[in-house]
């Protein structure tokens, strides 16, 4: 197989956005009475600064205080890439480089205390504990050290501050999500149009990853190829199982493009040359229900509708067909700088959808030991209803696979 | 460019190893007086169970109690892959599936308390706090919830238990590290022998990633292509900069193969057709010093030698040539299920090397704004001294790049 890179490169988020985001984050830190928000490597850091730091055991941490400058604490040998990140390039953050034999957590502790005007740890007598928020995915190794260095602090989650910012995507983010979706659409088309019979799931999965990269993705994050009975396991990993004629394949693939996620699922049925291997009628009936559920759930997307309502719409249709117990996961998850983020379309989440929210709509039906099916699109909530980013057809892809 | 998959697939770790590892971990949990070790998704979980769970906001957690069965708490929709993991397949762990609307942290809390024989939270009057260790990379979102659910517990890091196990690789692990290294060696050879001039760093980086996958890696984790002045930044990300004749390229690439890391750095000099673009004498002199430092540091590897001594050997040679201030990072890091893990070859780490430890030996010299160079191999400490896994030549690769 030859895969040639064809995609246009992603259009980066403009520096002005980082200014807006940092300013909004600081306002929220102050509003919530926090001493500081401490952001480790990951999506929150990328959101606020554009800095794509590697997840290292060496601490990189953005300190967003209620008061005083925003500081990016970085290991000295990461100073060059840190300086080159959009927020640093635009002068929005100060850099503090620590040396290979320093304890960087002590630097962070000092910055937090500086922002509260406290020079030393406050004992019980010193009054109220200070409150600090840390990014949700900060590692325990850093959090436990911070708790030691700041014993006077109560720690909470950064999503309390950043969640409401990140959950609504701006036009630049939606453009990247759309480009990511279109790239993934093309990979689905290529896989569905290629040879499948006689290849292992793992081989096809590897081709998916190569094609995602060739389509301009920086990373191919997952490439589920679940054939035959494996299609009944929602998060099946591609295995050594060889694909045969007369069975379904659930293809659930995605990665990042300009930092933003793609995530699409389509279901294929591989026939080979012999018409005896056409889809079972039972499978076609099941798929028709799923198709209707996915379409109707998507159609229900509009501002003000509770997130759980989208889940309920899909679930009611599937349950009405007698498959309620076979739809064993929520209907969707938000997507952006992370593959799974708020809002979750799940029972119990009454949060109303807002314009600019982006999420998957992906009901599935799984008959354990036999077969399953899933359809997934990325959908943006707009004032006018759903904007479906994926364009690949949603019908069962009946292909020869030869 | 066409990349054809050629590599033999990785040989998986046998189930008997997971039995040994779980048993050793339990013994250590009991020995240290811990109520339990709580292991989230990631390398620690893969080490103990072979389970390659996706890093999801839905909690997956292995509970290794001092007493009672080892339990893997998983979201219901991950039950099929969880059951299929080596440790579950061999009956070494019990599975506890939680439903989409449950609070899984409460399940974990109950298991921890069951292991201590306590049915309810212990107040101050109930005596000593219990002690719980969590995996080092557990997310803050899970750790803060665990701290709420187990207010009577003191939390420490799982590396205190697992570090000493994971730091020594068994023969099956070394075989995977060696296969990973050889695959990466072949990618270096292909890149060094291919066209470089007129291509951007990002294009070459993408080719590296594709070739790592084609060589059997499951993941291409990094592909640093640092050309010209960018070679002076140790962790430069591949950029849009176009490679020209008459400049160096630091190529630092790696990923995972059968779950184990590859990580190799070689330095190239691209000449084009015109001999005027041969390496500067100054650069050749710098590189010769680096080459000697890397060779001598590698040669110093043997059981009983403190980790920091390997760093010192490289540093002394580089400093003697007047480049002490231009070697701005430690000499190496352990490698295994994680790209960076113990032991770190850094000043202050007096831990003696042991047979079976695997780590990088990677000194570098960086003249900011001008150029830099680095050489990196993965080395295993054996009774007889260093076993260098990489086989690619370590000299400056002087290539036409056309």
pLDDT in tens, B69-92: 999 999 988 898 899 999 999 999
Helix-strand-coil split of chain B, %, nearest 5: 40, 25, 40
Tokens representing A144 are: 């436990």
DSSP A354: -
| Beta pairing partners, A154 | A131
Q: At what angle do helices B104-116 and B140-149 cross, to 10 degrees?
A: 50
**What is the DSSP code string of A224-257?**
EEEEGGGGGSTTPPP-SPBP-SSEEEEEEEEEEE
Tokens representing B122 are: 């212990």
Chain center to CA of B154:
28
Tokens representing B8 are: 């033999």
CB atoms within 10 A of CB B186: 17
Tokens 């081709």 locate to A207
CB contact under 8 A, A81 and B237: yes
Q: Best mutation site among A80, A138, A210, A219 for testing chain B: the one with the most B CBs within 10 Å?
A: A80
Neighbouring residues of B173: CB distance < 8 A, sequence distance ≥ 6: B13, B260, B336, B358
CA gap A256, A46 in Å, rounded: 13
Continuous segment of H or E residues that includes residue B44? helix B43-49
**What is the DSSP code string of B297-341?**
HHHT--TTSBHHHHHHHHHHHHHHTT-GGG--S-SEEE-SSSSSE
Chain B closest-CA separation from residue A235 CA (Å): 6
Chain A closest-CA separation from residue B78 CA (Å): 6
**Cβ(A326)–Cβ(A232) under 8 Å?**
no
Tokens representing A49 are: 């600064």
CB atoms within 10 A of CB A179: 22
Q: Which residue, B158, B163, B62, B153, is CA-closest to B116?
A: B153
User: Is residue B272 helix, strand or coil?
Assistant: coil
Chain A closest-CA separation from residue B323 CA (Å): 16
Please provide the size of chain B in residues. Answer: 402
Question: Measured at the alpha carbon of residue B196, what is the angle toward residues B195 and B197, in degrees to the nearest 5?
Answer: 110
Q: Which residues of chain B have pLDDT under 70?
A: 1-7, 118-127
No. of helices (H) and no. of strands (E), chain A: 11, 18
β-pair type (B371-374, B364-367):
antiparallel
CB contact A234 to B (< 8 Å) = yes
Q: Which of residues 251-280 of B touch A (CB under 8 A)?
A: none
Q: Nearest chain B Cα to A39, which residue?
A: B140
CB contact B51 to A (< 8 Å) = no
CB atoms within 10 A of CB A288: 13
CA gap A109, B393 in Å, rounded: 45
Continuous segment of H or E residues that includes residue B157? strand B153-157
CA gap A115, A120 in Å, rounded: 12
**Cβ(A122)–Cβ(A26) under 8 Å?**
no
Chain B closest-CA separation from residue A331 CA (Å): 11
Q: Which residue, B56, B73, B159, is CA-closest to B110?
A: B73
CB contact A156 to B (< 8 Å) = yes
Tokens 């920086």 locate to A218
Q: Which of B76, B139, B328 lies nearest to residue A137, judging by beta carbons? A: B139
Tokens 């591989």 locate to A270
Using a CB-CB cut-off of 8 Å, the residues of chain B touching A81 are 233, 235-237
pLDDT on residue B218: 87
User: Is residue B64 helix, strand or coil?
Assistant: strand
Q: Best mutation site among B37, B60, B80, B344 for testing chain A: the one with the most A CBs within 10 Å?
A: B80
Q: DSSP H helical segments within B85-200, as ranges?
A: 86-89, 104-116, 140-149, 159-166, 171-192
Q: Which residue, A93, A88, A58, is CA-closest to A76?
A: A58
CB atoms within 10 A of CB B241: 16
Using a CB-CB cut-off of 8 Å, the residues of chain A touching B56 are 340
As for the ipTM of the complex, it is 0.85
Q: Which of residues 334-353 of A touch B (CB under 8 A)?
A: 340-341, 346-348
DSSP A151: T
Instruction: Identify the burial level of A343 via C-beta atoms within 10 angstroms of its C-beta, where 0-12 means exposed, 13-18 middle and 19 or more buried.
Output: buried
β-pair type (B94-98, B71-75):
parallel
CB contact A213 to B (< 8 Å) = yes
Chain B closest-CA separation from residue A299 CA (Å): 24
CB contact under 8 A, A100 and B56: no
β-pair type (B397-399, B341-345):
unpaired
Q: Nearest chain B Cα to A144, which residue?
A: B156
CATH class of the domain whose range is B171-399: alpha beta
The full set of domain ranges for chain A reads 15-165, 171-399
- A343 upstream amide cis, omega within 30 of 0: yes
Q: Nearest chain B Cα to A233, which residue?
A: B80
CA gap B342, B344 in Å, rounded: 5
| Beta pairing partners, B251 | B225, B266
Give the CA distances from residue B132 to residues B59, B63, B153, B341, in Å, rounded to whole numbers and listed in that order: 17, 10, 6, 22
CA gap A31, B63 in Å, rounded: 39
**Cβ(A248)–Cβ(A290) under 8 Å?**
no
Backbone angles phi, psi at A232, to 5 degrees: -85, -5
Q: Which of B156, B157, B213 lies nearest to residue A206, judging by beta carbons? A: B213
Q: Which of B135, B140, B235 lies nearest to residue A54, judging by beta carbons? A: B235
CA gap B357, B382 in Å, rounded: 8
Tokens 């309390």 locate to A160
Question: Measured at the alpha carbon of residue B130, what is the angle toward residues B124 and B134, in degrees to the nearest 5?
Answer: 135
**Cβ(A215)–Cβ(A186) under 8 Å?**
yes
CB contact under 8 A, A340 and B77: no
Counting one residue from chain A and one from chain B, the pairs whose CB atoms sit within 8 A come to 121
Question: Measured at the alpha carbon of residue B339, what is the angle toward residues B308 and B53, in degrees to the nearest 5?
Answer: 140
Chain B closest-CA separation from residue A81 CA (Å): 6
Chain center to CA of A166:
11
Per-residue pLDDT of chain A (402 residues; tens, 9 = 90+): 445 555 678 899 999 999 999 999 999 999 999 999 999 999 999 999 999 988 888 999 999 998 889 999 999 888 988 999 999 999 999 999 998 778 999 999 999 998 887 544 444 345 678 999 999 999 999 999 999 999 999 999 999 999 999 999 999 999 999 999 999 999 999 999 999 999 999 999 999 998 999 999 988 999 999 999 999 998 888 889 999 999 999 999 999 999 999 999 999 999 999 889 999 999 999 999 999 999 999 999 999 999 999 999 999 999 999 999 999 999 999 999 999 999 999 999 999 999 999 999 999 999 999 999 999 999 999 999 999 999 999 999 999 999
B46-56 pLDDT, tens digit per residue, is 999 999 988 88
pLDDT on residue A68: 86
CA quadruple B26, B29, B34, B36: dihedral sign: negative
Using a CB-CB cut-off of 8 Å, the residues of chain B touching A222 are 54
CA gap B136, B166 in Å, rounded: 13
Q: Which residue, B37, B49, B38, is CA-closest to B87?
A: B49
CB contact under 8 A, B155 and A140: yes
| Beta pairing partners, A248 | A269
Please provide the size of chain A in residues. Answer: 402
Helix-strand-coil split of chain A, %, nearest 5: 40, 25, 40
| Beta pairing partners, A145 | none
Q: Best mutation site among A86, A140, A233, A344 for testing chain B: the one with the most B CBs within 10 Å?
A: A140
Neighbouring residues of B188: CB distance < 8 A, sequence distance ≥ 6: B251, B253, B264, B266, B392
Chain B closest-CA separation from residue A73 CA (Å): 16
CB atoms within 10 A of CB B25: 22
Q: At what angle do helices A201-214 and A171-192 cross, to 10 degrees?
A: 140
**Cβ(B38)–Cβ(B133) under 8 Å?**
yes
CA gap A41, A48 in Å, rounded: 11
CA gap B216, B5 in Å, rounded: 7
CB atoms within 10 A of CB B322: 10
Q: Which CATH architecture has domain A15-165?
A: 3-Layer(aba) Sandwich (3.40)
CB contact A222 to B (< 8 Å) = yes
CB contact A160 to B (< 8 Å) = no
CA gap B223, B201 in Å, rounded: 10
**Cβ(B245)–Cβ(B269) under 8 Å?**
no
CB contact A382 to B (< 8 Å) = no
Chain B closest-CA separation from residue A364 CA (Å): 11
């Amino acid at each position: 197989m030859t895969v040639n890179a064809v995609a246009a490169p992603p259009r980066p988020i403009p520096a002005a956005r980082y200014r807006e985001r940092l300013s909004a984050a600081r306002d929220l830190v102050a509003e919530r009475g926090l001493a500081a928000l401490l952001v480790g490597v990951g999506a929150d850091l990328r959101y606020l600064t554009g800095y794509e730091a590697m997840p290292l055991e060496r601490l990189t941490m953005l300190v967003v205080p209620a008061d005083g400058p925003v500081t990016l604490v970085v290991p000295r040998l990461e100073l060059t890439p840190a300086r080159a990140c959009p927020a640093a390039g635009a002068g929005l953050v100060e850099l503090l480089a620590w040396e290979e034999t320093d304890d960087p957590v002590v630097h962070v502790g000092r910055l937090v205390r500086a922002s509260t005007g406290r020079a030393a740890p406050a004992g019980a007598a010193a009054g109220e504990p200070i409150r600090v928020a840390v990014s949700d995915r900060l590692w325990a190794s850093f959090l436990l050290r911070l708790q030691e260095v700041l014993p006077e602090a109560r720690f909470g989650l950064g999503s309390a501050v950043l969640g409401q910012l990140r959950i609504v995507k701006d036009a630049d983010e939606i453009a990247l999500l759309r480009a990511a979706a279109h790239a993934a659409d093309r990979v689905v088309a290529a896989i569905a149009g290629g040879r499948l019979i006689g290849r292992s799931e793992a081989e096809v999965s590897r081709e998916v990853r190569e094609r995602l990269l060739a389509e301009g993705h920086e990373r191919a994050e997952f490439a589920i190829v679940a054939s035959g009975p494996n299609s009944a396991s929602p998060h099946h990993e591609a295995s050594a199982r060889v694909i045969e004629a007369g069975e379904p394949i659930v293809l659930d693939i995605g990665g990042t493009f300009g930092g933003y996620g793609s995530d699409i699922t389509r279901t294929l049925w591989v026939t080979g040359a012999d018409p005896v291997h056409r889809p079972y009628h039972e499978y076609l009936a099941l798929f028709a229900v799923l198709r209707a559920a996915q379409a109707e759930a998507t159609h229900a997307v509009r501002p003000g509708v509770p997130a759980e309502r989208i889940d309920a719409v899909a679930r009611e249709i599937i349950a009405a067909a007698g498959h309620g117990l076979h739809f064993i996961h929520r209907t969707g998850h938000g997507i952006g700088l992370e593959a799974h983020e708020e809002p979750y379309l799940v029972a119990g989440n009454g949060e109303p959808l807002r314009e600019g929210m982006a999420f998957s709509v992906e009901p599935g039906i799984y008959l354990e030991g036999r077969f399953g099916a899933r359809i997934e699109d990325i959908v943006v909530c707009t004032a006018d209803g759903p904007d479906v980013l994926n364009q690949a057809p949603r019908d069962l892809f009946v292909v020869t696979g030869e």
